[in-house]
């Protein structure tokens, strides 16, 4: 599955994503991730800054789900795929690391990268868009700002 310009723009606007993994004991784990971006046309990469449970789970089960939204527009995407832990001996590590280091400005060291090869992407929409089909993004932003006290 390829990342479209719309999906890439959504990633650019999102400040957090949530990565869901499953342990060997079939226990789910969802963890927020701040340093993430797209890589090439079919991957999302995440800096492993403090993710021991996510890494352990991915080593046991590579199936993952990731979601991200623009909190004001309340639109985003749910991504399912297969994750791999990339260490500094991997041939693509340096190229991936450069993408993520631009975001961290060197403030958050990481030794490995979680690389998700995308299998499926579905849009996420706030219920208001579905219940009230004429809702504009501007109306949703105003509503979100009022709800969050902006």
How far is residue 53's CA from residue 30's CA, in Å, rounded to a whole number? 10
- Could you give the CA distance from residue 101 to residue 88 in angstroms, rounded to a whole number? 14
Three-state DSSP class for residue 32:
strand
Binned at pLDDT 50, 70 and 90, residue 1 comes out as: confident
pTM of the predicted model over 0.75: yes
Q: pLDDT confidence of 37, banded at 50, 70, 90?
A: very high
E strands, the chain, in order: 17-22, 28-33, 36-39, 43-48, 63-70, 75-86, 112-125
Alpha carbons 115 and 122: distance in angstroms, whole number: 19
Confidence of residue 148 (pLDDT cuts 50, 70, 90): confident
- Per residue in 10-26, pLDDT tens? 999 999 999 999 999 99
Domains and CATH numbers, the chain: 5-148 (2.30.110.10)
């Amino acid at each position: 599955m390829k990342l479209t310009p719309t999906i890439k723009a959504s990633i650019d606007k999102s400040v957090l994503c949530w990565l869901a993994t499953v342990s060997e004991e079939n226990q789910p784990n969802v963890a927020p991730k701040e340093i993430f971006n797209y890589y090439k046309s079919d991957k999302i990469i995440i800096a492993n800054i403090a993710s021991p449970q996510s890494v352990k789970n991915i080593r046991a089960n590579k199936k993952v789900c990731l979601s991200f939204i623009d909190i004001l527009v309340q639109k985003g995407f749910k991504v399912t795929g297969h994750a791999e832990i990339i260490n500094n001996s991997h041939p693509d590590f340096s190229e991936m690391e450069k993408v993520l280091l631009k975001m961290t400005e060197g403030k958050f060291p990481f030794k490995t990268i979680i690389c998700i090869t995308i299998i499926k992407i579905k849009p996420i929409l706030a219920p208001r868009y579905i219940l009230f089909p004429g809702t504009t993004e501007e109306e949703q932003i105003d509503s979100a700002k009022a709800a969050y006290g902006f």
